[in-house]
Each structure stands twice: as C-alpha cells, then as structure tokens.
C-alpha cells in the first residue's frame, strides 16, 4: 500500500479545518493507500490547532515567520515519516481534496517527481470571480518562473501539489513567503521531473488569504527573493559592476584625449575625475554586493541544514543526525517504521490497520 503524508499549512482556519482533514481522509482509497499522515503546520491564534488534533492530525508549530518557513518545516518533517509520497494542500478549503489521487497518479506511474496544480489550465476551474489585478500578478510570476526554469508554468502559486520525498529532502529555500515558487525553481535546478495538472479552486468559506491581500504586492515582495534563488542577482550585479567600470575607463580615455594626452592638463578636469571615481566606486559596490548576497545565501542554506539536523536529533534522530544534503535519500528511507506509529484516526475512534 502506498504511504502518503499530507502537509496542511494553516493560520486561523478553525471554521474549516475539520472539514479539510475529513475531506483529505475520504480522498484515499483504502484498497490502494495506507491511512495518510496529516501534518498540520500551524501559526494560528484561534482553535485550529486543537481542532486539528481532535481530528487525529499531527500538529507542528509553524514558527510564525510566514507560509514559506512553515511549509519548509512541514516538508522536512514529512520526510521523516518515511512516506512514499508527500502532498501539500492549503488549509483554507479552497483546494479540492478529491483531486489528491489524480495528483498522486503521475508519481505512481513514474512520470513525474513533482506534480503542480494550476487554476488556469482551463477557464472553468475557479468557481468565483477572480480579480483581474490578481490574475495579472499570477501571469507575471508565472512568466518569471518560466524564464527561470524553462517550464510551461501557468500558475505561480497553486494550492495543491504532490512530490516524492526526495524532492522535499533536497529542498533549499531563502524566503519566508516564497515557498510555492522556490520549490519549483529548486526542483527544476536539481533535475526533478515536473508536470502541471488542472486544479479546481473553490471560494473561500471563511477568513482571508494568509499570504497577502494583493497579488501585485506579493509579486514585488517575492521578486527579489526569486532573483536570488535563481542566481540572477549574481548576473545582474556583476554585469552592472563590469559595465560601470568599463564606462569609467572609457570616459577616462575620452578626457585624456580631450586634454591631448597631457597628464598635467587632465588634472584640471577635476569634475570629470570625480565622475570617473564615482562610476568605479559604484561598479565595485555592485560587484561586492553581489558577492555578499551570494555568501549570505550559502550561509542561509548551511543554517537550515544545521537546524534540520538538530530538529531530527531532538525528535529521536529519525534518520537526520549527522547527514548533509548528499545523504538526504537515506533520510527518506529511515522513517518507514515511524509512519506506522502515527495515529491517523480522530481521537476516540479505532485506528485503521494494514499500513503495509
């Protein structure tokens, strides 16, 4: 039987979380799948956490730093349960849990390593009025993702996706709100196969988006992170530094030519030399700023890896101790027995057996 861990990010989803968890369970055919581990990654101030636990879900504190940080922690924790596949599903009820088997099928058939949901594959997938300005924002982000990955992405932040645990184990992130986009870029960079399927998007029954109220603002917020994540900051800043230094040298030779190549005469062109010095200074600043950003990016990755190892050790060493990113596949296999230990039925109900 296939073992699946479903990661559900939540923030004040008390009115719908019970229904979401129940819908997830109903989506799994007991003839094909073991009872899923439902891992709720929660940053709520309402009763979401308690209600999720009453429904038999595992609950992980999200850390309060944004959807990206919460999902990063959730995916890394999901790997340690040793599932065959990992699903992520928004906790607001807008994604339709009945689609879960359809998203898992390409993984079962070995046709993909990550399956993305798109609300824009067909015009009939969104059952409410989607604001034009928000649609424009998703188009911009999707185009950016296409440019970074060479994939025909149509939705920059769908609410449902499936992946192999190796994809989650290898995941590296920079931003706190850019989980959806960064996982696509990261998986593409590491050679994982990615496909996109049409996905229904239902009207929100309660609350509001936990990401941002305005998609255009979200675009401007995420763009710098995506530039860094894809390495474009190096190309942009290094190129700017080289261009500025080149123009500084070119202008110096122009000034020198105007002075008849008389060195003493050129010293009378003080404003020109100030301008040349400014161009050179800006060029070096761009170059070193790009270098510093790249170093900070690497430091962030190293800190995340250290935190994962520490968390794995504190939870009893479920295969994460002493492992670096080159050993993440071993970590995937180390949690198989743990999957059997997790109660997946609501408290007070008998648990289903036959995890296989």
Residue 354, pLDDT score: 33
CATH number of domain containing 40: 3.90.550.10
- Our CA angle for 201, 227, 158, nearest 5°, is 10
Residue 207, pLDDT score: 61
- The answer to the question of residue 41 being in a domain is yes
> Do 280 and 139 share a structural domain?
no
> Do 242 and 163 share a structural domain?
no
- Rg of the chain, C-alpha, whole Å: 25
Is the separation of the CB atoms in 49 and 39 below 8 Å? no
- The answer to the question of residue 355 being in a domain is no
Cα(302)–Cα(318) distance, rounded to whole angstroms?
20
- The answer to the question of residue 344 being in a domain is no
Its domain, for residue 195, covers: 4-227
Residue 305, pLDDT score: 64
Q: How many C-beta atoms surround the C-beta of residue 278 within 10 A?
A: 12
Residue 310, pLDDT score: 62
Which pair of structure tokens corresponds to residue 305?
Answer: 């890896």
> Do 197 and 262 share a structural domain?
no
> Do 239 and 213 share a structural domain?
no
> Do 101 and 215 share a structural domain?
yes
> Do 197 and 328 share a structural domain?
no
Count, residues in the chain: 356
> Do 43 and 146 share a structural domain?
yes
Residue 311, pLDDT score: 56
Element (DSSP H or E) covering residue 198: strand 194-198
**Structure pTM?**
0.70
pLDDT by residue, tens only, the chain of 356 residues: 999 999 999 999 999 999 999 999 999 999 999 999 999 999 999 999 999 999 999 999 988 887 888 888 899 999 999 999 999 999 988 999 999 999 999 999 999 999 999 998 888 888 777 777 778 878 888 888 888 888 999 988 788 999 999 999 998 877 767 788 888 988 998 999 999 999 998 887 766 655 455 566 666 667 777 777 777 777 788 888 889 888 888 988 888 787 777 767 766 777 887 888 898 898 888 877 777 777 776 776 666 666 656 655 555 544 333 344 444 545 555 555 555 455 444 433 333 333 33
Residue 214, pLDDT score: 57
> Do 246 and 118 share a structural domain?
no
User: To which residue do tokens 């860094």 refer?
Assistant: 228
- The answer to the question of residue 351 being in a domain is no
> Do 275 and 215 share a structural domain?
no
> Do 182 and 79 share a structural domain?
yes
DSSP annotation string for 77-143: HHHTT--SEEEEE-TTS-B-GGGHHHHHHHHHTTS-SEEEEETTSSTTSB-SPPPHHHHHHHHHHHH
- Our CA angle for 329, 334, 335, nearest 5°, is 115
| Domains of the chain: total | 2
- The answer to the question of residue 347 being in a domain is no
């Amino acid at each position: 039987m296939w073992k699946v861990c479903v990661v559900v990010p939540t923030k004040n989803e008390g009115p719908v979380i019970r229904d979401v968890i129940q819908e997830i369970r109903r989506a799994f055919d007991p003839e094909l799948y073991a009872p899923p581990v439902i891992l709720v990654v929660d940053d709520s101030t309402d009763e979401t956490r308690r209600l999720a636990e009453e429904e038999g879900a595992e609950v992980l504190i999200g850390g309060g730093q944004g959807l990206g940080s919460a999902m990063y922690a959730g995916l890394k924790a999901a790997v340690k349960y040793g599932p065959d596949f990992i699903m992520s599903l928004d906790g607001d009820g807008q994604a339709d849990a009945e689609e879960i088997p359809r998203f898992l099928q390409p993984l079962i058939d070995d046709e993909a390593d990550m399956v993305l949901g798109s609300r824009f594959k067909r015009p009939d997938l969104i059952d409410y009025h989607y604001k034009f300005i928000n649609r424009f924002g998703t188009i911009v982000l999707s185009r950016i993702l296409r440019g970074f990955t060479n994939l025909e992405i149509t939705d920059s932040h769908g609410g449902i996706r499936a992946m192999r645990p190796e994809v989650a184990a290898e995941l590296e992130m920079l931003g706190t709100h850019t989980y959806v986009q960064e996982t696509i870029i990261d998986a593409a960079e590491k050679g994982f196969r990615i496909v996109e399927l049409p996905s229904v998007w239902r009207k929100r029954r309660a609350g509001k988006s936990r990401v941002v109220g305005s998609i255009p603002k979200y675009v401007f917020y995420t763009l710098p992170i995506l530039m860094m994540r894809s390495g474009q900051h190096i190309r942009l800043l290094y190129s700017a530094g080289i261009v500025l230094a080149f123009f500084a040298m070119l202008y110096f030779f122009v000034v020198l030519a105007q002075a008849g190549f008389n060195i003493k005469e050129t010293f009378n062109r003080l404003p020109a030399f100030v301008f040349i010095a400014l161009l050179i200074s800006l060029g070096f600043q761009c170059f070193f700023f790009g270098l510093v950003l790249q170093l900070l990016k690497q430091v962030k990755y190293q800190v995340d890896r250290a935190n994962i190892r520490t968390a794995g050790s504190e939870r009893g060493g479920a295969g994460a101790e002493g492992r670096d990113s080159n050993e993440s596949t071993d970590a995937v296999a180390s949690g198989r027995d743990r999957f059997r230990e997790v109660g997946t039925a609501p408290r007070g109900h008998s648990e289903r057996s036959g995890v296989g």
